[in-house]
Chains A and B, each alone.
Chain A
Amino acid sequence: MFKFFDLGVRKHGVVTTRYPSEAFVPPEGSLGMPDVDGERCNMCGRCSDACPTGAISLAGRKVTVDLGLCIFCGECARSCADGGMFMSREFELATRSRGELEVEHDVKG
């Protein structure tokens, strides 16, 4: 009995993470929400061609990423030569409606 206590508690202390009372930041390079830098994007459409699930659409001066379709693969960011699309580390994305998952980004460049 004490052996377990020793191994489990005394040796490791509390292992439980503090999320959500404390913010959690995923490690660098982690594949979170694909995000658009409106200053750098030039609407070339490469990201949307590269996306395996067709989650990205371009219309007018807007890039729309549908997080409901996105599989967080990072293909879009890899295909974007101008730094417009990048993988953020954002993961708190749960919503109550399908519509809210379609994230619109205004493109200024």
Chain B
Amino acid sequence: MSKDEKDVETLGKELRAKTMKVLGRSMAIREVDAGSCNACEVEVNSLTSSIYDIERFGLHIVASPRHADALLVTGPVTRNMEVPLLKTYEAAPSPRIVIAMGACAISGGIFKDCYACNEGVSEFLPVDVLIPGCPPRPQAIIQGIMVALEKLESRKRGASCQK
């Protein structure tokens, strides 16, 4: 095994160890498009390709919000997506974290003055992590997810203190 390949291995182990520590298992992410222009979706799809391969960290993009630890929301939340977004959020078990990805999801971005748009996800849901970009590059999404993991860790600790 070459040195470089070993690096990938260690890195994978580290992140994996982190997810295992925080969740006791791998982390499930559900992507919700709340009105994006679809470039954000292209980048999320890139994450699962073998170039970025986030599965190696124990991060899964799952098909149902019911399996999700985190919701990755893109788009400014259009009028027609308000209800589906809230329903998806309610379907996810708590503690669930919300990641707003892209300028649109954070603030409405270039669409903030449209008549059928809101100014980002925070108008509807408590947002835990924000990933700026238009669209954020895949590495930036990975970094955002790492921030989210830290957040989840602190929240869990908070929850166990209360007990």
Contacts and interface: CB of A to CB of B under 8 A. Distances in A.
A and B touch in the complex (CB under 8 A): yes
Interface of A: 14-22, 24, 26, 33, 52-53, 66-73, 91-98, 101
Name B's interface SS.
helix
A91 B140 contact: yes
A16 B78 CA distance: 35
Contacts of B133: 72, 91, 93
Contacts of B134: 70-73
Name A's interface SS.
loop
27 contacts: A16-B50, A17-B51, A18-B11, A19-B139, A20-B15, A21-B7, A21-B10, A24-B139, A26-B137, A53-B112, A68-B103, A68-B106, A68-B107, A68-B120, A69-B103, A69-B109, A71-B109, A71-B110, A91-B133, A93-B140, A94-B140, A94-B144, A94-B146, A94-B147, A95-B147, A97-B130, A98-B130
B151 interface: yes
Interface residues of B, number: 39
Contacts of B90: none
Contact of B8 (A14, A67, A71): A14
Given A71-B103, A91-B136, A22 B7 contact: yes
B23 interface: no
B130 A96 contact: yes
Contacts of A19: 52, 139, 142
Given A21-B14, A71-B103, A71-B110, A96 B151 contact: yes
B132 interface: yes
B64 interface: no
A94 B131 contact: yes
Query: Which 10 pairs between the two chains have the least Cβ-Cβ distance?
Result: A21-B11, A94-B144, A71-B134, A68-B106, A67-B132, A68-B107, A94-B131, A91-B140, A93-B132, A92-B143
